[in-house]
Amino acid sequence: MDTQQLLKKVRRIEIKTRRLSNHIFSGEYHSNFKGRGMTFSEVRAYEIGDDIRAIDWNVTAKLNEPHIKVFEEERELTLMLLVDVSGSENFGSRNQLKREMITEICATLAFSAIQNNDKVGVLFFSDKVEKFIPPAKGKSHTLRIIRELIEFKPQSTKTNISEALRFFSAFQKRRAIVFVLSDFMDTRYRDSLKIASRKHDLTGIRIFDPREEELPNLGLLPLKDPESGKTHWVNTSSYKLRAKLRKRFNDSKAYYLESFLRSGSGELSIRIDQSYALALLGYFKKRSR
């Protein structure tokens, strides 16, 4: 993709997702993700009328004069997008690839966050951390994120969600709003998810294609495994094969739902031929009840 094509695509996604963010999600985002409450600001000398419960006894003892801890409301939030860029995200049997839908969802969430004056960061992962864009504010930063989502080419095609969650938990010390966007065709991330969910407001967004849910009977077809890169001739008329693939899909779905339920995290699943705008809006409204 040349520079002109890339800019046109970025602009097209910006117009679509900013409209959604402005008219639908900005209020929902703000009501769902508010400031983290009170945070320590400074220590100052005690004044008549101050709450004695705020006295810092350690400082008071050192200076031999009463001092209190001052707290202020912390309004700024950090939105982190953990984006699966493994090979399976480049699949799509309808008008859109899973990766393209993930890009639009990320852009919508990012524009909602910057309207709330929050920072936005992105972590791209396959079976390793491919790229990390630190959280920052502003429209230009969000447009950079969209460009990366469109044109980024990972080094690996495989998936390891646990590795991404471990890396994120290690570098992000302060509480953040976290969305993990993936098809979640992985069953090795439950423990890492529990650890990350203890500190952060975490939501999984599972994107899937209807052909992954149920392979149609179309006879002998060449199918390419997006994670291994190998092409195999597959007899789709085989009931056993279709049942095996259906079981694989259902097993990963069940693992995803149970893992997020156990960790206390939010989750939603979106099929690529359905409206992600309605799915996100429904999720936000459900959270705010």
**pLDDT tens digit string along 25-68?**
767 777 777 655 555 667 888 888 788 888 889 888 989 999 88
> Do 121 and 80 form a contact (C-beta atoms < 8 A)?
yes
pLDDT of residue 73: 47
Task: Tell me the β-bridge partners of 203.
Answer: 179, 266
pLDDT at 75 (0 to 100): 59
Looking at residue 179, its pLDDT comes to 98
Angstrom distance (rounded) from CA 213 to CA 216: 10
Q: What is the pLDDT of residue 141?
A: 94
- Say which residue the tokens 């044109």 belong to: 151
**DSSP assignment letter at 88:** G
The Cα–Cα gap between 201 and 234 comes to: 42
Q: Enumerate domains of the chain plus CATH numbers.
A: 3-33+77-288 (3.40.50.410), 37-74 (no CATH)
Query: In which residue ranges of the chain is pLDDT below 70?
Result: 1-2, 26, 34-41, 71-75, 226
pLDDT in tens, 208-249: 999 888 888 888 877 777 677 778 788 888 888 889 889 999
pLDDT at 34: 64
What pLDDT is attached to residue 41?
A: 62
Q: What is the pLDDT of residue 37?
A: 53
